């Protein structure tokens, strides 16, 4: 059985919570509070030298970091990971887009808004501007496709749902993105869907 | 035959140049100058709505963005992509690490140093501090492993070589990272290795 070290209120950790529940796989969850320094202890750094959550640990103690790498590992061989090589590549494209062009702006803007003394407070307008660019890329795809990669719900949708569904918390005006709004609703209606714990 | 839209002086594009040469695959390279707005034309945005290089285009016109997704697609079924699921997951972990914890600091610091009027000039010290954290994570892995993921050279090494080998351009003092230095030398000694065009 896998162990996940994660923080329930983190979107990156929520991705794994959602996939594992939808896979129906048993797992152990160890709650880690990053704000209390629990990713900077010697014990945690021995598991993940990069000091971040989430982290997957296997029964033999071997570990895997990076939320989207963990999604790929857990989804392999299931309906959440395409069998076709080109669709797998499209899935990876969206996963890298999420970590490079989406999360660093949309998740960080949410964090800034939620914490009035956040050190990046002065950057909020730039974070939002970059976040809107990411939303526009998603809107264009979803205007004429049901899902981000391929013809069915999969880990690209899970990864991008995590911080898109709560983008309004970061001050993003979502009414201008109707295709994203419809897609969020489709994701929510999948069997086994769970809300993020905030 | 694949077409790559790329800029030779970009590390993200160099990753593909290097892998394609080492694979011995024929390909067409279309040089794109991002500084002259060539990723913002309607024609380019039709291929990649996110307006970035590199981009892979197949003979049928379908496109794939994100350098590391393209590496995975090109490497599948070759010696550069592990056959074992856990080693593939480790490879993906390093690819996501590269795009989230390494490139946004080490590549951007290099860009700032190279362009005296760069808009992020004031952030250089923070970029370097975050870049050093990424180098420390690599150093720890490479202190007792020959390669980043698994037992042989592969796309994790290619992806991280791209901006690590020129980190000194961004003001990084590399003498404190001897294991990285040895690894850079091992990467350079691989058959078919090519330097980045700067």
Contact A66 B93 (CB under 8 A): yes
With beta carbons under 8 A apart, name residues in chain B contacting A50: 97, 101, 133, 137
Compute how many other C-beta atoms are within 10 angstroms of the C-beta atom of residue B119: 9
Contact B93 A65 (CB under 8 A): yes
With beta carbons under 8 A apart, name residues in chain B contacting A62: 86
Distance CA A8, CA A195 (A): 11
Distance CA B147, CA A22 (A): 35
ipTM value for the complex = 0.98
| Separation in Å, CA A127 to CA A79, A103, A104, A130 | 34, 10, 8, 5
Q: What are φ and ψ of residue A55, in 5° steps?
A: -145, 135
- The model carries a pTM of 0.98
With beta carbons under 8 A apart, name residues in chain A contacting B76: 85
Contact A100 B101 (CB under 8 A): no
Q: What are φ and ψ of residue A48, in 5° steps?
A: -135, 100
Closest chain B CA to residue A103: B100
pLDDT at residue A198 is higher than 90:
no
Mean pLDDT across A128-144:
98
Distance CA A164, CA A184 (A): 8
Compute how many other C-beta atoms are within 10 angstroms of the C-beta atom of residue B193: 14
Please report which confidence band the pLDDT of residue B198 belongs to, taking 50, 70 and 90 as the band edges.
confident
Distance CA B133, CA B46 (A): 37
For chain A, the average pLDDT equals 97
The answer to whether A12 touches A159, Cβ cutoff 8 Å, is no
Please report which confidence band the pLDDT of residue B143 belongs to, taking 50, 70 and 90 as the band edges.
very high
Cα torsion A55, A180, A90, B27: sign: negative
Q: In chain B, what are the domains?
A: 2-75 (3.40.30.10), 85-188 (1.20.1050.10)
What pLDDT score does B55 carry? 98
- Chain A: closest CA distance from residue B114 (Å): 22
Contact B99 A104 (CB under 8 A): no
Q: Which residues in A have their CB inside 8 Å of a CB on B?
A: 49-50, 62, 64-70, 72-73, 76, 85-86, 88-90, 92-93, 95-97, 99-101, 103-104, 133, 136-137, 140-141
Three-state helix/strand/coil letters over B92-156: HHHHHHHHHHHHHHHHHHHHHHHCCCCCCHHHHHHHHHHHHHHHHHHHHHHCCCCCCCCCCCCHH
Contact B93 A141 (CB under 8 A): no
Contact B96 A97 (CB under 8 A): no
Contact A93 B69 (CB under 8 A): yes
What b/e sequence results for B64-102 when a residue is b if at least 16 CB atoms lie within 10 Å of its CB, and e otherwise?
A: bbbbbbbbbbbbeeeebbbeeeebbbbbbbbbbbbbbbb
Please report which confidence band the pLDDT of residue B7 belongs to, taking 50, 70 and 90 as the band edges.
very high
The answer to whether B116 touches A86, Cβ cutoff 8 Å, is no
Cβ neighbours of residue A175 closer than 8 Å, sequence gap 6 or more: A181
Interface size, chain A vs chain B, as Cβ–Cβ contacts under 8 Å:
90
Compute how many other C-beta atoms are within 10 angstroms of the C-beta atom of residue A36: 8
pLDDT tens track for A71-118 = 999 999 999 999 999 999 999 999 999 999 999 999 999 999 999 899
């Amino acid at each position: 059985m896998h162990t996940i070290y994660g923080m329930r209120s983190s979107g990156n950790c929520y991705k794994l919570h959602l996939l594992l529940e939808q896979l129906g796989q048993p797992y152990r969850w160890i709650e880690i509070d990053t704000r209390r320094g629990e990713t900077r202890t010697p014990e945690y750094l021995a598991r993940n030298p990069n000091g971040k959550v989430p982290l997957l640990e296997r029964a033999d103690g071997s570990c895997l970091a990076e939320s989207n790498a963990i999604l790929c590992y857990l989804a392999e061989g299931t309906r959440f990971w395409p069998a076709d090589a080109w669709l797998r590549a499209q899935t990876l494209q969206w996963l890298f887009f999420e970590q490079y062009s989406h999360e660093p702006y949309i998740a960080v803007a949410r964090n800034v808004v939620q914490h009035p003394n956040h050190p990046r407070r002065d950057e909020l307008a730039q974070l939002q501007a970059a976040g809107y660019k990411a939303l526009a890329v998603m809107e264009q795809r979803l205007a004429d496709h049901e899902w981000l990669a391929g013809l069915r719900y999969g880990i690209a949708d899970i990864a991008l749902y995590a911080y898109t569904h709560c983008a309004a918390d970061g001050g993003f005006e979502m009414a201008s993105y109707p295709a994203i709004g419809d897609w969020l609703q489709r994701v929510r209606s999948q069997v086994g869907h769970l809300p993020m714990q905030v």
